[in-house]
Amino acid sequence: MQDDIGTLLRSFLNNALRKQSQRRIRDFGGYQVGQRRKLHVIEPIARDTAEFLCTYLCISLRGEPASKEGVAAAIAAALRNVSDELAFKLTRHSDEAWTTLCHSVAGFLEGCLQIDHRPYDGSLTAQSDYNGWKSWELITSGEKPKGKWRHAWKEKPGDDFIGFDGDACMGRIFKIDLMDASERWYWLIAADGSPRRGWPAAGYEASARSAACRVERIYFALVKGEERMVLGEGETRRA
């Protein structure tokens, strides 16, 4: 169970950190190794990341729910420990560097906080609003993915897939076996730093098909520049 939560934490960290704007990443990494780093960006990066993690994970400190501010402070402390060399590699879009960063931050968080999945309410329907969607946003039973989905790890096929629209990566879906929610498929939108326009970057669905469809819906909406509408009866607001 703990290994599954560790995998989930690292995946969410990867998405939350990599979706930061290129300017923030450049300020954090510097323009040369150890030079012109602007460490004041650590706080906003940490706040954004904490907001993301607290939305999808249950995080506590000594048995009590941790505040978002407390989680952000822990993330900021971890980011301050990042070496100049590693920080600069992030600006070069090094996947290895990003993986190292996520493992480092995750290890720090696991050392000072207790992290678990959110309680499962027995329903993954959009009508419940539990997984973040309104009833009119439900993935229909006949809807099928249109992109190309392949195993994330060729050497280890399993319940982990990456979706492509041509050569562009749309996102990832994966299943984690939890005792109370064996049919929970998590999804992540590929992080490229572009505006989200109200669309969430991660979530879960009840099946691999619906998770893949959810990724594609959001991906193509972002490609078209469409904002998410969250209108209910009598409402006229956007996300």
Q: What pLDDT digit, counting tens, does each position of 93-137 carry? A: 888 999 999 999 999 999 999 998 876 555 454 444 556 677 778
| AA letter at 123 | S
Residues in the chain where the model's pLDDT stays below 50: 1, 123, 125-128, 181, 233-237
pLDDT in tens, 57-69: 899 998 899 999 9
Contact between 28 and 42 under an 8 Å Cβ cutoff? The reply is yes
For the chain, the domains span: 3-115, 122-222
- Tokens 């209108």 correspond to 231
Q: Of 78, 77, 88, 106, give the one whose Cα is nearest residue 36.
A: 88
Question: pTM higher than 0.85 for the full model?
Answer: no
> Hey, what's the torsion of the CAs at 223, 28, 26, 113, to 10 degrees?
-20
Give the count of beta carbons closer than 10 Å to the beta carbon of residue 136.
11
